[in-house]
Structures are given as C-alpha cells and as structure tokens.
Amino acid sequence: MEFLQWYNKYAEDLSGVERKKFVQELKIIKYLYSSGPKSNSEICRHLKISAPSSFSILNELTTIGLIEKQGRGESIGGRKPDLYGVKNDTFYVLAIEMGKYKTQMAIFNGENANVTEVCSYSFLLDNSMDTIDKLYNYATELIAASGIDPLKVIAVGVSMPGLVDSRKGANYTYFNFKEKPVRKILQEKFKRPVFIENDAKAVALAEYRFGLAKGKKDVLSVFWDWGIGLGLILDGKLYRGTLGFAGELSHIPMVENGILCQCGKQGCLETIASAIALSRLALEGIKAGKTSIAHNLPDEDNDKVETRLVLEAANKGDQYAINILGEVGFNLGKGLSILIQLFNPELIIIGGRMAQAGEYITMPIQQSLNTYCMRQLKEPSSVVISEMGQRVGIMGAVAVILENIFDYYIKTSSK
C-alpha cells in the first residue's frame, strides 16, 4: 500500500485510542526513515513503548506493506533480532537545491537513495513569479519522466540561499512576495507539503544525517561558495536563531572601509574570502598579466572566473593562482577563529565550491587559526573537507524533508 493511500484512509475519524495508535505508527515510520533499519528492542527504547505494542504495530505495518524485514541485527547472547526498515517504494520525495545561477533536483526513495539522476537547470534566482513557474514545470517534467506515480511523491524539500525563515516558510532575499510566503506558493502548486531551508543550514543537516557530523554534538558546517554560509549544530540540534537567520558568516565586517558587499555594507568577510573574492583577485591578476588563468577563460565569460579555473592553474604551478587561494583561505581562517572562540566546536566541516581547492586552502586556514585562535580552543577543533563533494547540496534538500515530513503528518493527524 502507498503511504498517502494509507494515511488518507486512517488519518480522519479515529477515536482517541485509535488515533494514539496511529500516531505511534507514524512515529515508527519516522524513526525507521531517519535512522535506517532497527530492531524491535531499539524501537521500544527510542519511542518508550512496550515490546508487545511495538511488535504488534510492526506486524501491522509489514502486512500493509509500508515496512519490511531487512536482515538481522547483532546478537546479544541469543537469536539475532529481525531488523525492520521502510520499503524503498513506499513513498518518494522531491529534493531541490537552488543556487544563484543553477538549480538541481532529483527524486529520492524511502531509503534516501536517489532514483533519478540529479538534473541541473540554469536560471537566475530572483523575485519573479515566472521563476517559480519555471521551477515547478521542471519538477513536474522530472516526476513524469521518472515513471513514478506522482501520488507517491509525498513531500518537496527546497534549499536556497538568502535570509530564510523556515518556520514561516519565507525567504526575505529571494521570492520575497508581499502576498504570501514562498513555501505557501509552492505548496499550492505542488499540492503536497513543501519545506524550505537556507542552503548552508540544509548542508549542515546533510552532514549531520549522512556525513562527517553524524553522531557529533557541536559542529560548524561551512558552505563555502559565492558566499560563505554557516550551519550550526549545537548540542546535537540545528541552531536557527530567533528569526531563523543565524549563521550569516558572509556578512561579518572584517575590513574597515573595505570593498562594498552585495548586502550594502563594506568590508564583509564575503568580499575577501569567498569565490566572489577569488574571482575578483583572479581578474585583477589577468589584467596585470600576472597569471596564466586567462588561457583557460572562455571568451564569452571574461567577467567571471570560476574556482575550477584558478585551481587548474594552481595545479599547473601558477604561483599567482596559488597565492590568491592562500589569501582567501587565510581570510576565511580569520573568520573561523572568531567562531571557534564563540562556540568551541569539536569539528568544522568545509564544503561547497571552494572546498574543491583542498590543501591549497586548508593549509592557509590552519595557519590563520594558529595566528588568531587561542590554543586551548583551537586544538580540540578539527577542520576537515566534506566527503560528500558536490552531492552535499542536493542531500541537504533531502535532509530538510527528513527533518520535517513526519512531524508534519503526526501534527496533522493529531488535530
């Protein structure tokens, strides 16, 4: 049975006792979806319910076809326990990663595995309703091409840059419409739950659920791209702040009377330590004849230099490319030193476009931390490059769904 078919059949007109059991069933599906296959005893401990109650629900959900046995767990002196997990075709979710210039999307199953390719679309992120329509049309085309029954797609997750208040479903930088928040507009189009989150926070959730932050409690996740986003995992939870805007690392003022930032202030960290800063420095070097980067620059794109081109030049021994990578890395390290002394994290994960530079930026970052950080705070804080590579953005959109979807259904069924 499909999830929505089951949910719509049983969510309404339940008595108090029946509704309590239905909510427990939803909580078990949520636990298995977010944590993978689990034994009956693990489910009992997590949900604080009795073994007979849990076993009865598991049997019912298995009979219905929403979950299934998925192997055996470790034995603790007896028979190996059965492990239960969500059937991979019980439901699907649509994950959308929006960037300033490119949007990616893919469909994932109940085991968080993508069942379509990650498709890319080039269009500018702005405040136009036409862009919303374009996004929706691309999404419906992807679902149709996948061959999946659209009714099996139970939620949409969107990660996007900007000042995002995920609780209200609003983005105050892009799609900032007066009539209604962007999440409501998308829900009306998709006719299913939609969850939005700032891209850096979505990346932090991806690292916490699927990456190097799994099992950690205090982690800083830096999304280093055209801007510098920050996701804070504090005491095992994503920290959003009062309005959901916590983590605007890009716009910490660092240089007195510095370069004008896109936010309207001067001398922000973004102006000296982002891909924007790297591109500007590369163009300055090209105009001054200091670098070979120009040899790889397409004629039609001579006003912007991609990180990839600077890295290619650095790998070929171009000293100017190596120097400017070191400069932006050192500047980022100075910003990170402030965060380390504020939050005392156990781990700092760096992902995004700039992370592809590897040791060209990690070494100057570490040098900067040695210069600006107190030793007692710096030593416990490891700085690592994300192992998720370019998938981290789309997995962030999946993590946003994972974080919210069953709480949405539980809350709706409890009314």
Q: Where are the domains of the chain?
A: 3-86, 92-204+393-413, 215-387
CA nearest to 394, candidates 147, 171, 141, 210: 210
pLDDT above 50 (res 269): yes
Q: Is the pLDDT of residue 302 over 70?
A: no
- Reported confidence tier of residue 77, pLDDT bands at 50, 70, 90: low
Domains 92-204+393-413 and 215-387 in one fold? yes
Of the given ranges (89-98, 283-292, 393-402), which has the lowest mean pLDDT? 283-292
3-86 folds as Arc Repressor Mutant, subunit A (1.10.10)
Mean pLDDT lowest for which of 58-72, 76-90, 397-411? 76-90
**Integer angstrom CA distances of residue 40 from 52, 66, 402:** 9, 16, 22
Digit-coded pLDDT (tens) for 318-377: 999 999 999 999 999 999 999 999 999 999 999 988 998 989 999 999 999 999 999 888
Question: What is the per-residue pLDDT for 277?
Answer: 93
Amino acid at 95: A
Q: What is the band of 306 on the pLDDT scale with cuts at 50, 70, 90?
A: confident
Sign of CA dihedral 31, 34, 37, 39: negative
Q: Quick one: average pLDDT of 245-256?
A: 92
The domain 215-387 is placed in CATH, from the list 3.30.420.40, 1.10.600.10, 3.90.1150.10, 2.170.190.11, at 3.30.420.40
pLDDT band at 300 (very low <50, low <70, confident <90, very high): very low
Tokens found for residue 329: 């890395």
- pLDDT band per the 50, 70, 90 thresholds, residue 17: confident
Q: Are strands 67-72 and 347-351 parallel, antiparallel or unpaired?
A: unpaired
Helix (H, G, I), strand (E, B) or coil at 412: helix
Q: Which of 412, 362, 405, 415 is nearest to 193 (CA)?
A: 405
Q: Please give the Cα distance from 213 to 236 (Å, whole number).
A: 10
Residue 411, pLDDT score: 86
Q: What's the mean pLDDT in 7-14?
A: 76
What pLDDT score was predicted for residue 290? 84
- Rounded to an integer, the average pLDDT of 137-166 is 95
**Secondary structure (3-state) at 129:** helix
Residue 415 has pLDDT above 90, yes or no: no
> Phi and psi dihedrals of 297, rounded to 5?
-85, 125
pLDDT at 296: 65
> Residues of the chain with pLDDT > 90: what percent?
71
Mean residue pLDDT across the chain:
91
- Secondary structure of residue 197 in the 3-state scheme: strand
How large is the average pLDDT for residues 384-396? 93
Give the pLDDT of residue 379: 86
Q: What are phi and psi of 373, to 5 degrees?
A: -105, 145
User: How much is the pLDDT for 100?
Assistant: 83
Give residue 141's pLDDT. 96
pLDDT tens digits along 195-223: 999 999 999 999 999 999 999 999 999 99
**Which uninterrupted H or E stretch holds 121?**
strand 119-122
Residue with more model confidence, 386 or 302: 386
What CATH architecture is 92-204+393-413? 2-Layer Sandwich (3.30)
**What tokens appear for 365 in the block?**
């970052």
Whole-number percent of the chain with pLDDT over 70 = 96
For 373, residues 6+ apart whose C-beta sits below 8 A from its C-beta are 337, 340, 341
pLDDT in tens, 235-250: 999 999 998 899 999 9
Residue 414: partners with Cβ closer than 8 Å, 6 or more residues away: 19, 23
398 has a pLDDT exceeding 80 = yes
95 within 8 A of 77, measured Cβ to Cβ: no
CA distance 249 to 269: 7
Q: What is the pLDDT of residue 303?
A: 58
What's at 50, amino acid-wise? S
